[in-house]
Amino acid sequence: MSRVVVIGAGISGHTVALNLKHLLKKNHEVLVISPNEYYQWVPSNIWVGTGHMVADQVKFPLSKPYKKLGIVFKHAFARTIHPDGDNATDKGFVSIEHVESGEKEKIEYDILVNATGPKLNFDATEGLGPDKSGTLSICHYEHATHTWNELQKIIRKMKEGKKQKLVIGLGHGGATCQGAALEYTLNVANLIKKMGLSDMADIRYISNEYMAGDLGMGGAYVRNNGYVAHTKNIIESLFTEFGVKWYMKNSVYKVEPGKIYYEHIDGTEGIMEYDFSMLIPAFAGVGIKGIDKEGNEITDGSLFKPNGLMTVDSDYSSAKKPYHEWRGDDWPTRLQNPTWKNIFAVGIAFAPPHSISRPRTTASGRPLTPAPPRTGMPSAVMGHATAENIADIILNNKPLDSKFKHNASMAKFASICVVSMGYGIRGLAGTMSVYPTIPDYTKYPDFGRDINYTMGEPGLAGHWFKWLMHYAFMWKAKANFGWSLIPD
């Protein structure tokens, strides 16, 4: 019997665990470690942050599906990975710390999947975050609930006739998740519009993107109503329609209560005042350390890169090449650690080879490059492909370096992104699909992507689709009847 240990039970880790157990059945063990005993459907935190949903609608206890499928769950933090074991064992293990008791435990594995997602690195920007200056977040259901409480206070003030400044966007020059910041901006603007308070609100979007619609993927040309349009035009027209002012090419470096300090790409310094602000922080690895057999920390980059993300089969040397020489082939196809081939990383936990957007800095050298987004759909697709590859190895006794069944490269599959702009039966959402996720100008010299499969359109159908996605993905994550038939 083999034991596969999955660290993290978010979109990618939960997908790995459900699919692996489904494929391996009772003959092998799947064990999941997570400090959060709930699964959360992160994308719907947008609606928690605008009061359309409460936290209980976007989360559920992991124990339910895990009991149903026979997955072992440890409510704990993974602290260290010992890929060669220690002086007591040659077998790789993870050292965990139980959340309630603080007790430590060694969890041995045959195969390990790291799916820890990001550490919300508020500390990378001076003063950023709910615990410091008071800028808010929607990255977790608790943050989003708090953010909604703060938004209601602002709405009350507007109703009293006091004009309010709302600033939403990216709180660091290297932050990712532009799609979430954009979606939250448009949802807030729509809510205020529906309340008839637009005249009382000065809504601003501040971002490290070079232009609106960059979205951390260098923007995209999409088919739109029979024409080819750039995402810049589509997003700018949405901002205009919703009365949002946009401030691009800005590296936010400091926040104080009521004040956001930023440097523009040309070196101009600015201060943006706010009454309400939601800024997405930079992401980093969650801080798990690799430890060698002698008990020393592995610091040579063979297990984790300096940003704490896990080393996989990316071509990391490509980062040194000029931007125009970056290729889809730089991206990992196996999501497998090259030194310890029984270790994999999926979702935000793997270290990408480089950004997707062109790297830039401000005139004074501050970062101005969105980190590459590994959004929900790619995270789930990577998780599913990795589960199938691991199951194939285990069930067919294949060596770990054999040819894999599935190519898990983001350069080989499409991504669909739906940006809602409201809630309820009537609404609007921008639906965008890009193929491939990572542009490839060698294969698609005109647009970098296959224009037949790369499209974007705002409309009511997308809005319903987004709504449906919430219920379909919650159903699937709960491992309810027919879950495995619902696409990632």
Residue 287 C-beta: closest distance to ligand FAD, Å: 7
Which residue number places its CB atom closest to ligand FAD? 10
47, 36, 44: which is closest to 13 by C-alpha?
36
Minimum CB separation of residue 242 from ligand FAD in Å reads: 18
Stretch that binds ligand FAD, among 21-29, 238-246, 369-377, 428-436 (CB under 6 A): 369-377
Q: Which is nearer to ligand FAD, 13 or 265 (CB)?
A: 13
Q: Is 367 helix (H, G, I), strand (E, B) or coil?
A: strand
Give CA 225 to chain center in angstroms. 29
Nearer to ligand FAD, 286 or 434 (CB): 286
For residue 431, state whether it binds ligand FAD (rule: CB under 6 A). Answer: no
The gap from C-alpha 264 to its chain's centroid, in whole angstroms, comes to 25
Q: Name the β-bridge partners of 228.
A: 223
12 binds ligand FAD (CB under 6 A): yes
Tokens of 334: 């196996």
Cα 231 to the center of its chain, rounded Å: 20
Rounded to 5 degrees, what angle do the CA atoms 149, 151, 156 make? 100
Residue closer to ligand FAD by CB (options 342, 375) is 375
The alpha carbon of residue 396 and the mean position of all alpha carbons in its chain are separated, in whole angstroms, by 33
Using the contact rule CB under 6 A, the part of the chain among 4-12, 51-59, 205-213, 232-240 near ligand FAD is: 4-12
- Name, in order, each residue with C-beta under 8 angstroms of 468's C-beta and a sequence gap of 6 or more: none
User: Per CB under 6 A, does 342 bind ligand FAD?
Assistant: no
Kindly state the smallest distance separating residue 289's Cβ from ligand FAD, in Å.
Answer: 10
In the numeric block, which tokens belong to residue 418? 């739906």
Residue 6 CB neighbours (<10 A): 33
Applying CB under 6 A, among 2, 3, 36, 441 the residue interacting with ligand FAD is: 36
Measured distance CA(402)–CA(399) in Å, rounded: 5
Residues 344-363 binding ligand FAD (CB under 6 A) are 347-349
What does DSSP say about strands 93-98 and 104-108: parallel, antiparallel, or unpaired?
A: antiparallel
177 binds ligand FAD (CB under 6 A): yes
Using CB under 6 A as the binding rule, whether residue 369 contacts ligand FAD is answered as: no
Q: How far is the CB of 286 from ligand FAD (least distance, A)?
A: 4
Which of residues 58, 189, 217, 288 is near ligand FAD by CB under 6 A?
288
Interacting positions 370-389 with ligand FAD (CB under 6 A) = 374-377, 379
